Structure 1
Amino acid sequence: MFLGYRNKWLCARAAAAAIMLLVAAVAHAQGSITLYGRVAGGVDYMNKIATGNGKTADLLRYGSNQWGVSLWGLRAKEDLGDGLSAVMNLESAFSSGDGQGAGVGLFSRYAVVGLSSSTYGTLWLGRAMGLPDSEGWTVDPMGMQAISIGTLQNGRSWGSRGNAITYASPDWGGLSFRAQAGLNGVAGNFNAGRQLAGSLSYDNGPILIKAIYEEIRDAKGEFTNLYTASRLYEAGAAYVVGGLKLFGGYSLTRSGGATVADADNPMAANKQQQFWLGANYQVSPALTLIGGAYRAIRNNSAGNGTLLALGANYFFSKRTLLYGTVGTVMNGGNAAFSVEAGSNRPVAGASQQGVYTGIVHRF
């Protein structure tokens, strides 16, 4: 036991030393490096979780990442002259509940290197957040919390994409676009595990409009799962009127005829539509009230779900906020959507409620 603890301690020291060497090396170059992050923690409660044989139970647990994931990262930039810069970004997610990493590997969100130009845009090579995640949250009234646009999509919009090439255009009077392609290198099957995505944005004054497309294929290059190997089409908008910000959007998720049934999709639906409306209202410089209504409809008698959410963000300072969110999901037919994205589903056709609150500190 002592040797195991000592080995973990040595590994932790080695990782810390490597990070410090990286910081020192980048800082020594003619550029800049930024250490940043946030830590989120709180309490989470859900009811009516199916436990088998038609029975349910409630759940009270530590709330680590319901409002948003805890993370830390490093950004670096070196001026190469003529408006061109070398850039890199390393970012890791973790749980404040146990301090363990979340995702695949140390830098589960970003591990990119690239070039950036104010004239030609930015090119990244490496793991980066998917466009439905990094772009879609801006047109979601709940900001992609655990109760948000991603809930009825069973997390389809969330996450990073590996082996990716990502390009972001410059801003032309509020108009911009991004493109992303994941190259997974399977011999003899170019489409195996392939990911392609693009987004178009118009952000000017009080109005924001976004359109997003992403396709993810399975290991055979096919669309066989509604939430993990499918095509996603999404469009949303936000409009600011004084202290009120209004949101609306639509998404369509489609897989193929060979869609496989699983716990998230027991009726093997290969099509899901989702609509949402919501608003943010800034009561004061410190307090913002948020709310959203989401409706998902699936084919193949897979049922539908309606999600309602209300919340508040109270900023003690620019870096520290107190959050609270409450939600309810109402399932119809054979649907068993959870009120929070995840596996804690109710009985098919039943409703479920959840609430979480906590603190977030940014640095």
Structure 2
Amino acid sequence: MSNFRYREIFIGVLIVSASAAAHAQSSVTLYGSIDEAAAYYNNTGGHSLVAMQNADNGSSYWGLKGKEDLGGGLNAVFTLESSFDITHGTLSNNRIFAHQATVGLSGEAYGTLTMGRQFDPTVDLIQPITGDSFAGPAFTTPGDVDNNDNSAWINSSIKYASPTYAGFQYELMYGVGGIAGNTTGGHSYGAAASYNNGGLTIATGYLFTKNDVNGTGAADLNQDNSVVPLFGATPMFGSRQIVQAAAQYVIGSLTANIRYSNAQYKPYTNYGAFNRTETYNVGGAALQYQFTPALSGALNYVYTHSSGASSANYNNFGVNATYSVSKRTSFYADVAYSHASGTTFSEDGSAIVAAGGTVGDLAASSSTRSQVVAIIGITHKF
């Protein structure tokens, strides 16, 4: 029997089990999102490109979320989310539940404790108040070097999310490396806190991971451009440290936010050119205006400076328009531009090369200093 057939049976069992649980005083919800777009790149690896692509303004995934009342204000909770590429009909990262897979306990007075594969605290509390929430990958950092577009997941992790106290909330996370004889090898840890008062929200957070680019470790990350020292196909034996802060203010139909991050990639082995810590300082600002209940527009700017074995500057600009035809379905259009100067790394980190324009973490870097991307897509939520 094929692996695909096993997956069909497994998912079918899950859905049947969820239905049975719903009749046993449990709350189980099936939900998800589908996002597909047509995109034009003036330069991707030396060539222009027109292609269909998945998950530009939102994720493509389906999920099951449920809870069981244990009494005393405590609930058993679970989340299973399977992400996929609608363009090709394939699973993401060849995993059934690549998006999230957690189980734990939750209560209004206690907070939520979950275990499994999940997002880190900075993704939960900081990313929603940055430009990435307006237009996803087109509005994020080149190469997503600071995980603003949540391109890293933390496996084998334990996370605690506090209740909200007068607008204040915090999260703590630890990812177990699972390396015999080395309890801190390949581990990850992070924390974040946010405060909301009226239209103002501020948040800050920290993330540290070891061996997270297809090496052994609790976190896994794939990259497809030359901004970061190594491509996803090259295992990174080293660490990554990210500090982030953001603030957002909502007044009427206008939403404005700013953000700053510092990301440091430290190799534990000599890759040639990538032989010492590479540091990325990122600053960004975004505006979104709700013209009508159905139509919104957004502007975004991100500046990225790298220093270390190589040094580069990236100036990224983006424009987005989103039109909702219903509460669940919307059309969107993005136009983004990136200009780079200075140098970066070759795919395997062995050589220094000219930095190419890179719009967010959408695709491979340009072979020239600039890159232009135009996208038209649709998102449907269920």
1:19 to 7, 10, 14: 14
How far apart are 1:39 and its partner, in Å? 0.7
Equivalent residue, structure 2, for 1:169:
162
Instruction: State whether residues 296 and 321 of structure 2, in contact with CA within 8 Å, keep that contact through their aligned partners in structure 1.
Output: yes
How far apart are 1:95 and its partner, in Å? 1.0
How far apart are 1:130 and its partner, in Å? 2.2
Structure 1 residues 41-83: Cα deviation after superposition (integer angstroms, max 9, x where no partner): 1201111223xxxxx2101100211112201000111111111
1:345 to 355, 365, 368: 365
Equivalent residue, structure 2, for 1:43:
38
Equivalent residue, structure 1, for 2:142:
151
SS in 2 for 1:23: helix
Instruction: Determine whether 1:309 maps to 2:289.
Output: no
Instruction: State whether residues 314 and 338 of structure 2, in contact with CA within 8 Å, keep that contact through their aligned partners in structure 1.
Output: yes
Instruction: Determine whether 1:326 maps to 2:335.
Output: yes
In 2, the alpha carbon distance for the partners of 1:286 and 1:260 equals 53
How far apart are 1:20 and its partner, in Å? 2.5
User: Pairwise mapping of residues 1-363 of structure 1 onto structure 2 (< 5 A)?
Assistant: 7=2, 10-11=5-6, 13-50=8-45, 56-143=46-133, 145-154=136-145, 156-157=147-148, 158=150, 159-218=152-211, 229-256=239-266, 258=268, 270-300=278-308, 301-334=310-343, 335-347=355-367, 350-363=369-382
In 2, the alpha carbon distance for the partners of 1:220 and 1:74 equals 29
Instruction: State whether residues 267 and 276 of structure 2, in contact with CA within 8 Å, keep that contact through their aligned partners in structure 1.
Output: no
Structure 1 residues 58-115: Cα deviation after superposition (integer angstroms, max 9, x where no partner): 0110021111220100011111111111111101111111221113521112111111
Task: Tell which deviates more after alignment, 268-277 or 165-174.
Answer: 268-277
How far apart are 1:278 and its partner, in Å? 1.1
In 2, the alpha carbon distance for the partners of 1:37 and 1:253 equals 31
Return closer, same or farther for 1:140/1:360 CA change in 2, 3 Å cut-off: same
Return closer, same or farther for 1:169/1:273 CA change in 2, 3 Å cut-off: same
Instruction: State whether residues 38 and 70 of structure 1, in contact with CA within 8 Å, keep that contact through their aligned partners in structure 2.
Output: yes
How far apart are 1:342 and its partner, in Å? 4.9
Amino acid at match of 1:245: T
Return closer, same or farther for 1:141/1:152 CA change in 2, 3 Å cut-off: same
Amino acid at match of 1:325: D
Amino acid at match of 1:356: I
How far apart are 1:289 and its partner, in Å? 0.5
In 2, the alpha carbon distance for the partners of 1:102 and 1:294 equals 28
SS in 2 for 1:103: helix
In 2, the alpha carbon distance for the partners of 1:110 and 1:333 equals 37
Q: Which runs of 5+ in 2 are unaligned?
A: 218-227, 231-235, 344-354
Equivalent residue, structure 2, for 1:53:
none
Return closer, same or farther for 1:257/1:185 CA change in 2, 3 Å cut-off: closer
How far apart are 1:136 and its partner, in Å? 2.8
In 2, the alpha carbon distance for the partners of 1:259 and 1:310 equals 40
In 2, the alpha carbon distance for the partners of 1:199 and 1:45 equals 36
SS in 1 for 2:37: strand
How high is the TM-score relative to the length of structure 2?
Answer: 0.84
How far apart are 1:330 and its partner, in Å? 0.5
SS in 2 for 1:145: helix
SS in 2 for 1:14: helix
SS in 1 for 2:77: strand
In 1, the alpha carbon distance for the partners of 2:125 and 2:376 equals 25
Task: Tell which deviates more after alignment, 285-294 or 62-71.
Answer: 62-71
In 2, the alpha carbon distance for the partners of 1:362 and 1:209 equals 28
How far apart are 1:258 and its partner, in Å? 4.8
How far apart are 1:187 and its partner, in Å? 1.6
Structure 1 residues 223-265: Cα deviation after superposition (integer angstroms, max 9, x where no partner): xx86873100000010012211111010001133757559xx9
How far apart are 1:181 and its partner, in Å? 0.7
Equivalent residue, structure 1, for 2:224:
none
Amino acid at match of 1:145: G
Instruction: State whether residues 290 and 312 of structure 1, in contact with CA within 8 Å, keep that contact through their aligned partners in structure 2.
Output: yes
Amino acid at match of 1:271: T
In 1, the alpha carbon distance for the partners of 2:61 and 2:250 equals 29
In 2, the alpha carbon distance for the partners of 1:260 and 1:295 equals 28
How high is the TM-score relative to the length of structure 1?
Answer: 0.89
Task: Tell which deviates more after alignment, 253-262 or 121-130.
Answer: 253-262
Instruction: State whether residues 152 and 296 of structure 1, in contact with CA within 8 Å, keep that contact through their aligned partners in structure 2.
Output: no
What is the count of residue pairs matched by the alignment?
A: 347
SS in 1 for 2:366: coil
